[in-house]
Amino acid sequence: MAMRKKFVAGNWKMNLNKQESEVLAAVLKEKMGVCENADRVDVAVCPPFVYLPIAAKILSGSSIGVGAQDVYFEGNGAFTGEVSVEMLKDVGCRFVIVGHSERRHVIGETDELINQKLKAALEGGIEPILCIGELLEEREKGQTEAVIERHLREGLKEVSKEQMAKVTIAYEPVWAIGTGKTATPDQAQEAHAFARKILADIYDESVAQATRIQYGGSVKPNNAAELMGQPDVDGALVGGASLKVDDFMGIIQGGLSPQGSCGCGCKSGS
């Protein structure tokens, strides 16, 4: 089985002010800097657009990557309020989240638009994190797999096998986001295994085995290790708990176990 390095990303959403963003980035850099085994897990933070340059500056020279929460697919022009891939690169972004459920369901983004954004990110050299996942009513109607399949097939349309090396998938059941209701490790594993099966069908087994699939939805220090201990769960996309440095470090620690403690004093299970 492919060894996929765990990837923990913090999605700050529309939270924090300038000073709080600076403090969070700086303390995170400091804590990760003394994490002995920090190189065993990839870590990124995704601040709001306006704080990206600040976070990128503070985190430069650290192992922590910076990502945006969204992007527009056009290169430039009359698109009021939008931000391009080049602009994100210009301020130091390596990653971008596309298709987050809040963008799908609050802002109304379609699979087609999400696919355009994902392709623009790849073509411009930014690594997309494609969010997928079902609403509560879809789960209750037994449509979980159909939604996962549609989000993957539509979101990855015209994305080549080679480009998949730069894509991370985040399975985020919408009913678990910001609700404190986490999917059980079994529910997460089942959905992730299914997503991997679809990737094998779209591409092939080697792409399916190499692609990292994060879990998102109320990940906390006390459930992170168990969730990321599932064979097909390759990390976490963390909202609320990424705003508190100790919680986020605890989740990163969860990504390191069961291989062992990172030795930086951050605790999982607290």
Q: Which residues here bind ligand PGA, judged by CB under 6 A?
A: 11, 172, 177-178, 216-219, 237-241
Phi-psi domain of 247 (left: phi exceeds 0; alpha: psi -120 through 50; beta: other): alpha
**Which C-beta is closer to ligand PGA: that of 11 or that of 230?**
11
**Which C-beta is closer to ligand PGA: that of 189 or that of 218?**
218
- Closest approach, Cβ 217 to ligand PGA, in A, equals 5
- Closest approach, Cβ 15 to ligand PGA, in A, equals 10
Residue showing the smallest CB distance to ligand PGA in the complex: 239
Token pair belonging to 87: 């602009």
Instruction: List helix spans (H) across 134-244.
Output: 136-140, 144-155, 185-202, 205-210, 221-228
Decide: 175 and 188 in contact? Cβ < 8 Å: no
- Judged on CB neighbours under 10 Å (0-12, 13-18, 19+), 162 is exposed
**Which C-beta is closer to ligand PGA: that of 219 or that of 256?**
219
Q: What are phi and psi of 5, to 5 degrees?
A: -70, 135
Helix (H, G, I), strand (E, B) or coil at 10: strand
- Closest approach, Cβ 16 to ligand PGA, in A, equals 14
Any idea which residues carry the catalytic annotation? 100, 172
- Closest approach, Cβ 235 to ligand PGA, in A, equals 12
Instruction: List helix spans (H) across 35-160.
Output: 52-59, 85-90, 101-102, 111-124, 136-140, 144-155
The neighbour count for residue 243, using CB atoms within 10 Å, is 18
